[in-house]
Each structure stands twice: as structure tokens, then as C-alpha cells.
Structure 1
Amino acid sequence: MPRYIALLRGINVSGQKIIKMEKLRSIFESMDYKNVITYIQSGNVIFDCEEDDPAFVRDRIVSELKVQLTFDIPVVIRTLEELHEVVENTPYQIVNAEANEQRYVTLLSHSATEAAIAKLEAFQNEVDEFRVKGLTVYLLIRKNYGESKFSNNFIEKKLGVSATTRNWETVNKLIQLAEGRS
């Protein structure tokens, strides 16, 4: 049975689209997903599901959330194996903690076109940097993510795809939880 991680975009931010994790867990359980775990308030859900088509699973979750919560929530789905690949393929293996460098990943819902990627790459700068690899945008932030030009909204607009961003620690914690390690 595949192990999935659903990453919801834009919930519990600035008092909008408020969802308690208890409610979110119950929605996933009502869809007959097993071993449901939520992690922090930003909408990370780990679960087992017999369906092996991630796009079908995502569409079902989006639809059920709309029915039960009455508002749209974009969802990005990754398998446990795909999250492992995200970590293994980072171009930023080493960060300078003394210089406050931080890693983030923006997970794309779909592949971006080469033209869109080129458009985004035109915004590279000395302060923060990024690399696009498949369905992942790896970010190396040198100041503060909240002040970075490369916000989730900016990346979505330039690439023309829905996405959600998580910090490096969250991605690794999701892997630990999905593997049954806490």
C-alpha cells in the first residue's frame, strides 16, 4: 500500500482557511485512508492508500476538502520515495549556518515548461539562489524567507503551476514520520 504525503497550500495562514489538524485528520480517515498523521498546522498529512495513482489521490482529496470545508485548497502529493529523492537530490548539501543560510523546497503540482523555468531563472540574484529540478524548486535563502523574492506566490506566478513551500526541517520530519520514526 503506497505511503503518501499531502501538502496543503495556504491553510492556517493570516487567519484564513483555518483548519484544525484534528478535523483534517478526520476528513482523510473518512476517505478510508489509513495510518493518517498530521504534522504542524501548515497542512501536512501522511497516510496510506490503496490507490497507486497520485493524481487521482490528489484530485479526490481536493474534491473532498471542497465538500467538507466549502473552500478550495490546492494540494500537492508526494510519495515517501519521492520525498526521499527531494532530499537526496538537493544541490545544497551543505549550508553555512553561521551565515544564517536556510534551505527550502517548493514542490510543484505539475512540471513547468522550459520557457517558464527560463523566465524564473532570469531572477537569480546574489542574495538568494534556487535550482529547478523536475517537480522541485530548491531554495537557498541567505537572509530571511519572509523577505526573499522567491516566495511561493512568486514561483507559482513565474512557473504557471500550483506549488507549496516547506522548509528543509519540515521535509525531513515528514520523512521520519512517514517511516514511523519520530
Structure 2
Amino acid sequence: MTGTTTYIAFLRAVNVGGRTVKMERLRALFAELGLDQVRSYIQTGNVFFSTAETDRAALTARIEQHLEQALGYAVPVMLRTVEEVAELVDADPFAGVEVTPEVRLCAVFLSEPLPTDLEFPVSSPKGDWEIISATPGTAFTVLHLRDGRTVNPATCFPKSYQGQATSRFFHTIVKILAAARKV
């Protein structure tokens, strides 16, 4: 479709904490908004769609409003174009980080940039996570499992951070991108 943009909507608060939404229903909710070629990937709230709408902030607000009205709770939405996610993957933000059974690589999609005074890397006092770098829209976090468990990377930001965030393992983002590129 000419003049359209394909977005990946990374949703927070979907299929966690007892809030279950079948992907069929989620796709239907996006379609109700007049969005085209709506598809989803796995159960963690990743939705692909195309639209001719050019105002991303207005589109995000419209989606969030519709989801909250339909589901009964707020669902923060981080919209990224397929091209933006491809750039993120191609940048290889975790180059040089050794992956072991105790290490997880995570990209945290942000609604607002992190505070400008943040100096990287930022590590937790317990050593269970570190933010190694960030762009205005994404923080790159290395998680260290302790007793087989890890923290929610979206909670690793300073209290001064006023935005919303949702995380995905980096290897999952690669798969999401591949799925989003399929027509």
C-alpha cells in the first residue's frame, strides 16, 4: 500500500499479572481503529499494522485510549517503524557482551528518553542488571540471573524517569522484526 507505514506496537501490561488477552482479540481491537494488515507475534503484546497516519503521537494516544476502554486497564504502547527496529538490530548494541546461561540481553522500549544526566553503564547495587547504553527511544540492558530469576528491566530506571517502558529480549526482537517484514 502506497503512502503507508508499517509499525510494530510493543505493548506493556499484556498477558502479565493475570491480564490475559488472546491475540485474536488484540488484532480485532487494532482493526477496529481502521488499521490495515494487522498481525501479532507471540503472546507478549507485539502487533504489526500499516497505516497512512503520519502523527505518531496521536496514533499512539488513539491506540492506548481504545485499548484501555476495551480492556479496562491502561496499556502503554511504544510504536516503532519496521525500519527503526531494523536499525536497532543492525546497530548490534550488545556487541562484546558475552552471553552465558546467566546473562540475558534486553532492549527496553521507552515512551520518553532517559534523563540526559545518566552516565552509562548504570548498574544495580546488587549487580543483577546494568544499562549499558541508550538511544532516545531504547535502553539496552544486560540482566544477570540470580537463583534463576531476573528483574523486570523496565524497573531499572531512576525515579526521575517519567515515561513508560516495555522490554523484550534482544533475540526475540530479531524474531519480531523478521515476522513484521513478512507480508
Q: Into which bin does the TM-score normalised by the smaller protein fall?
A: 0.7 to 0.9
Tell me what 2:91 maps to. Answer: 89
Quote how far apart the aligned CAs of 1:142 are: 3.5
Mapped contact 1:7–1:44 kept (Cα < 8 A): yes
Compute the RMSD of aligned alpha carbons: 2.6
Structure 1 stretches of at least 4 aligned residues deviating more than 6 Å after TM superposition: none
Select the residue among 60, 63, 78 that pairs with 2:62: 60
Alpha-carbon separation, structure 2, partners of 1:119 and 1:128: 12
- Alpha carbons of structure 1 residues 51 and 146: separation in structure 2 relative to 1, 3 Å: farther
Tell me what 2:12 maps to. Answer: 9
Which amino acid is the alignment partner of residue 80 of structure 1? Answer: V
Quote how far apart the aligned CAs of 1:84 are: 1.1
TM-score of the pair, normalised by structure 2: 0.84
Residues 126-162 of structure 1: CA distance to partner in whole angstroms, max 9, x if unpaired?
55432222211111223368424x6312327452211
Segments of structure 1 that go 5 or more residues without pairing to the other structure are none
Alpha-carbon separation, structure 1, partners of 2:158 and 2:149: 16
Segments of structure 2 that go 5 or more residues without pairing to the other structure are none
Select the residue among 110, 113, 122 that pairs with 1:111: 113
Q: Is residue 140 of structure 1 aligned with residue 147 of structure 2? A: no
- Alpha carbons of structure 1 residues 102 and 62: separation in structure 2 relative to 1, 3 Å: same
Alpha-carbon separation, structure 1, partners of 2:38 and 2:5: 13
Which amino acid is the alignment partner of residue 22 of structure 1? Answer: E
Alpha-carbon separation, structure 1, partners of 2:158 and 2:42: 23
Alpha-carbon separation, structure 1, partners of 2:47 and 2:101: 32
Across the two proteins, how many residue pairs are aligned to each other?
Answer: 178
Alpha-carbon separation, structure 1, partners of 2:124 and 2:115: 16
Alpha-carbon separation, structure 2, partners of 1:155 and 1:21: 29
Mapped contact 1:37–1:45 kept (Cα < 8 A): yes
Select the residue among 158, 162, 165 that pairs with 2:164: 162
Alpha-carbon separation, structure 1, partners of 2:126 and 2:55: 38
Tell me what 1:129 maps to. Answer: 130
TM-score of the pair, normalised by structure 1: 0.84
Which amino acid is the alignment partner of residue 13 of structure 1? Answer: V
Alpha-carbon separation, structure 2, partners of 1:24 and 1:4: 15
Q: Percent identity?
A: 28
Q: Secondary structure at the match of 1:155?
A: coil
